[in-house]
Structure 1
Amino acid sequence: MNHPYLSTTLINKVYKRLFLNQCYVCGFKQEGCLCSSCTTFLKRNDHCCDRCASPTLSPLALCGECQKEPPSFSKAIAPFEYEGLCRALITKAKFENQPHLLRPLISQLADHILQQNQPIPKLWSHVPTATSSLIERGFCQTEFMSQLLLKHLRCYHPDLKIELITIERIKANQAQHTLAKRERHKLTHKHFYVPQTPSESVLLIDDVITTGSTVNACAKALTLSGAPNVTVWALARTP
């Protein structure tokens, strides 16, 4: 009898029953990590720019910013607006060392991707966390997102295989959330380096798209390294 295997299996079952089969917000016992009542407090980003996912008052092909200066990525997907419950979950996850609170939003992002029948690129990358934030938090939230998102998608696409493309920061800069909008726009592709040469479309993962400067700079670095196309998936977009 494989006692270590049985012990691990039992621990996993207990953990799932105690922590995963309940709403992360109100504690309601159920399948999944966000109940239907709490889900209503997530503001969906239904009306947005088709290119950068910036929230708009009505459906729009391209917002004024994208018409004036198209971003380096071909499309961004962000199912929620960064406010209310969505903002609270992400803030607590990042700044109060509770990364598990990203699980409900990652699950929702996976469902959104599957419902929209979005193509899933084989090459994945994530926005690198600033060194100062990495030291403060002890984890990279975008890397955590990538791992969990892949796990969700493989429930429906068991044969899904991906290759990771690394983006490195080559210039020290402050964490974006500490900067004013004008300062954020100073971030360029010169702050990042891609050691690989991607020959296919790349999926870039981020938690929140605020001004779009970071994902745009990372997408530019990817295209300069050889990627023919970059798609961005994020949890939320700032209104």
Structure 2
Amino acid sequence: MIINQLSKYLIDLKYEDIPKDAIEKAKLCFIDYLAVYLRGLESENSKIAIKTIYELYGGDFNSLNKGFINGIASHSLDLDDGHRLAQLHPGTIVFSTILAMVSDKNLDLDISVYEFFEAVIAGYEIAIVLGEMLNPNHRNQGFHSTGTIGSIASGAVASRLLGLDIEKTEHCLGLATTQSSGLLEADHAGTMGKSLHVGNAVYNGILSAFLAKNGFTGGESLIDGKEGFIKAMASKSYDDYSHEN
């Protein structure tokens, strides 16, 4: 099962295994993310989202709500980094998740720079591997990969930051997969919905990690099972798929 393979990769990844050029590229991606995110906070999308969080939660910007805002802000201008073959924007998912969690004082996540880069590389790798595997079929069926696959990638990052064991990581990825959503028609219609997909993906990824941490089950077959992600949203299956680090 694909989720088993992805979870093993998440658990096993160590900083010393990451090529130096990948670390340097990650630094550039982070700088790019911050620039786009800060400008995106001034967008109408972000202003409405922030106002809504204040109305609903009294301004309680916990990791879920921060992730939601981060995702919308960093994707509202559509200038965030992209991967052509995977047909998605990994940075907006990965960095929005990390910043939301490490800035939540209630979580008290004190991660090292090495753990930061491990989470970044893991998130990018999983987003890109899934994007390349599922597209172009997934995109041709009208799905917004950054929103759909982004939910899984965000869950991967969040589970790594929480230090979940392999079983709970598998449940996290399963839960994130079953919450995958996002239709490209939202973009074609000229709405703000495309950035909403990213906000939801980050929110759902973080939520999935905490649910799994507390015992909520997700399942290992949600991507390539009989009625899983691939069957429902990408038409074709890859029976001999194997994750290569």
Q: Provide TM-score, normalisation by structure 2.
A: 0.37
More strand as a share of residues: 1
* Higher-Rg member (1/2): 1
* Higher RCO structure (Cα 8 Å, ≥6 apart): 2
More helix as a share of residues: 2
